[in-house]
Chain A
């Protein structure tokens, strides 16, 4: 699996990001992780998806559509989760499930997957609900 386009250490964030060049999950990781990467592989085929960052405590899997700067997305992703934690605590709304930020040009969907966080950056007219449902299928 080669979903990473380039390798770069990010010094701007407090979390060290080690890009997983092979993109493969470790053997001991649960099947859920494999399924997730497969889903992300599908999602990245959409020309509306610009980038995604799947981050755990020790590593990150990154996809970039074009020659984009990963650092700006990584920093924004971290800040979104930090702000979310602050605000949800302020209003006593529990833990972060997901965050959607919509800008003039693009939007970002950040999802808390427990031990991992996933941030997907996409064009403004992309269907983020569909992407969210593919990552976390709604339970009936």
Chain B
């Protein structure tokens, strides 16, 4: 995994943390070997080095197992260092900072980015090759700067009911990739993607939807209809590259392969490229939601002891977004341990817990999930 890719994704994440918590004065990420991965503008490298040295003095002698997090609370603010994989995220905040919000962000947002980035960019070689192919920006280009389109590699999976979709060209891609695109390209429209077959170089341009089946999420998979697979002359299991077609405010495409944006067909330097357009519409999916655990007390005979209770508003949102899909179960993930559990759910009965970002979980389920009251969990619907 290329550090540049991490750095870009993580720098944006740090900026988001600052946007949400303006009382954060410094934020940066360093590696175990004290190498700086990314940092904000307020922090110089010397400060990061000093922080890394002070922290390593603790970890070298930590008798408490591998240190996952340490918070130094001072009279005027606090320093928190949180360990994810090989990375150490440091945030420095004043006492006015919302501790809960900051903890949620640092323990959810950054680990999620770190977890997803390698899956979104599994082949760095392809990324480098495609970067070389991209046309350089003209120096007098008046358009605002946009990062180069990201190229990601995915494995093809079928979708649709066999021949029912016939020759329809439809693709579904990972929501994390969409989130990444939105993060990188801001307000620029991304309604289409270009799928390129890695062996032949054939490509297909079409609108996309998000993967709905959770079992395919974060697995480096792209779902393609039979029609789309036929267009690229590929089958399930093939590897393809996916890149966004970015439209700026003037609706000009800036994808690397689209120097002539309105062309139905274009030609690259080495291979003939066929470009198809499929008239599919984009439907947004809800993001994974985060909640704080609250005990669910009651009697087993009044209901299943394995059923959790969530905010009715969340259920309503799921129903609106997934319309005709049945959602009877959800997946809960403890944000610290990463333990996941699939279980049934019902709406919260007690109105005092509504709209509070709370999930009520029976103690038995808490034990299975290795979580407890006050801990943060993320949930996502299981769509059948």
Binding site for B on A (CB under 8 A): 72-73, 75-76, 79-80, 82-84, 86-88, 90-108, 121, 125
Q: Among A86, A93, A107, A125, point to the contact of B75 (Cβ < 8 A).
A: A93
Q: A91-B92, A93-B74 are in contact. Are A72 and B79 (CB under 8 A)?
A: no
CB-CB < 8 A to A121: which residues of B? Answer: 64
Q: Interface residues, chain B, CB within 8 Å of chain A? A: 25-26, 47, 50-51, 54-55, 57-58, 61-79, 92, 372
- Dominant SS at the A interface? mixed
Alpha-carbon distance between A90 and B61 when the two chains are bound, in angstroms: 22
> Do A90 and B58 touch (CB < 8 A)?
no
Q: Is the CB of A87 within 8 A of B72?
A: yes
**Structural contact, B74 and A105, CB atoms closer than 8 A:** no
Report Cα–Cα, A99/B81, bound state, in Å.
11
Cβ 8 A contact of A83, one of B54, B68, B69? B54
CB within 8 Å for A79 and B74 given contacts A91-B79, A104-B68, A125-B372? no
Contact B64 A107 (CB under 8 A): yes
Cβ of B270 to closest chain A Cβ, rounded Å: 51
Q: What distance in Å separates the Cβ of B208 from its nearest Cβ neighbour in chain A?
A: 40
Chain B residues closer than 8 Å to A95, beta-carbon distance: 74-75
Q: Which of A86, A100, A105 contacts B70 (CB 8 A)?
A: A100
**Bound complex: CA A103 to CA B72 (Å):** 15
CA distance A92 to B69 in the complex (A): 21
- Whether A106 pairs with B70 at a CB distance below 8 angstroms is no
**A72 and B70 within 8 A (CB):** no
Complex: how many Å from CA A98 to CA B76?
12
Contact across chains for A102 and B57 when beta carbons are under 8 A apart: no
Whether A101 lies near B61 (C-beta < 8 A) is no
Please tell me if the beta carbons of A79 and B79 are within 8 angstroms of each other in the complex. Answer: no
The CA-CA distance from A79 to B61 in the complex, in Å, is 9
Partner of A72, one of B54, B63, B71: B63
Q: Which residues of B contact A83 (CB under 8 A)?
A: 54-55, 57-58, 72
CB pairs A–B below 8 angstroms (12 shown): A76-B58, A76-B62, A79-B57, A82-B57, A83-B72, A84-B74, A86-B54, A91-B26, A92-B76, A96-B74, A101-B71, A102-B70
Known: A76-B61, A104-B68, A105-B65. A99 touches B54 (CB 8 A): no
